[in-house]
Chain A
Amino acid sequence: MKSERSREPLWREEFSIFQADERYVSRRQLTKFLTLTSLAMFAGNFWILVKSWIRAGVSYPVRTVAQAEEIPVGGVKLFEYPGPQDQCILLRPSENSYVAYSQKCTHLSCAVFYSAQNRRLECPCHQGYFSIEDGSVLQGPPTRPLPKVILERRGAELVAIRVQESPEGR
């Protein structure tokens, strides 16, 4: 017995696991890794839940973003809402209609611009097109509509009151 052990390589003597148990060890290690991956997935879902709770508590400021007559028919004005980092685009497609959307494309956050000729919002990066009626996707890689800034006309002023992430009824 002793002579058999002495023929084993040195690393085998120093390794604490018997050869017969090795198959269990590799399976246990893999199972542990998979369980930790599962924990990471749960942490991701929980993080989304926390972000959702935080966002639910946010109240949007009521802010004047433009004077109604300063924008010509077919013209645009850029503004920031609700925060200074949130670039938005205000359009006047016809005499009495004003609409505003987040300028960030929902695909990869490039800035969209208004194409008066095609009457749509266009993203120059990957040719994603959005409707000016409700911000929905007309064509291209984006799958989500542009967040809409809800406006109110108060006399000569256009006032932003909140941001609507998806069109009503969707």
Chain B
Amino acid sequence: MNFLLFQRHTKLISLVLVSLSVVISLVVMNGQLKAIETLDWLDVVGEGGIILMTSVWIFFIFASRPPGRVTTLLIVGLCCFLISGLLDLLDEFVSYPNDKFWLYWVESLPAFFGMFLMTWALYQWHQEQFKLNQQLCRREAFYREHSQIDFVTQLYRADYMRTLLTLNQSQNIPYSLAMLDIDNFAAFNRRYNTNDGDRLLREVAEIIVMNLRQNDLACRYAGDRFILFFPQTHLCDAKLVVQQITQAISHLAFKPQKTGKAVYHDVSYALAEIKQNTDAENAIAQVNQKLEQQKMIRQAQAC
């Protein structure tokens, strides 16, 4: 787990802690401890469990969300809910001067208020998620699976593409596939170092994504290979996009850490228009084969 986000939540964390201590001190000042024998342990366990789980929720929101309006709303809402729970739990242990004491009747108010805030926060979260999804387009298609995201390029891996192609096969959607390969990447890795190699991959991935259309998808295939998916696209249209990508990449003046001098890269690519009812493996094999052939031809020319 990563706890880096906690440092950015100091205000909210202190708000939660202060309000909890205010509640506890109010209860302690006004109430009197009950005798141990009169306690209803079933209630204590149930209400204690609610407190514990709410605290865990608050913890995970702190751990996983950056500060912002939605986060603040969620935390304040949960904190109100926690206050109600805490009052409920504490009055198992203490008794107040009379039945009509204000702490009794105020008990359930924060929970309602908190639930209201959280509902509002959830609606906001929903809107936020839509914005985020838009940011992710061209990197993500129809489903989300964070375990398939590649560490280096932050694109999805080949598995994701296979699943997508299989889905396309079942829905009978024609599409084009492209495979891109950075030339002499191994030599670059040897010459500079693997950190620079990783950075280069990341930047090339960015360029690819920038040059795609909204409905296309790019995944990292393996090593220095990228696979691009163009739904309902003819070969010539896809070729245009891929040519634009290769042009953009050839203009990337990548500066390795060691020398700081620009290194330029070319990419080889192959395209295939996939007919309906082709399975994922077959489709990928088609572009792979074309790319291999091209490389052979190129090598033969070089000799």
Q: Do A and B bind?
A: no
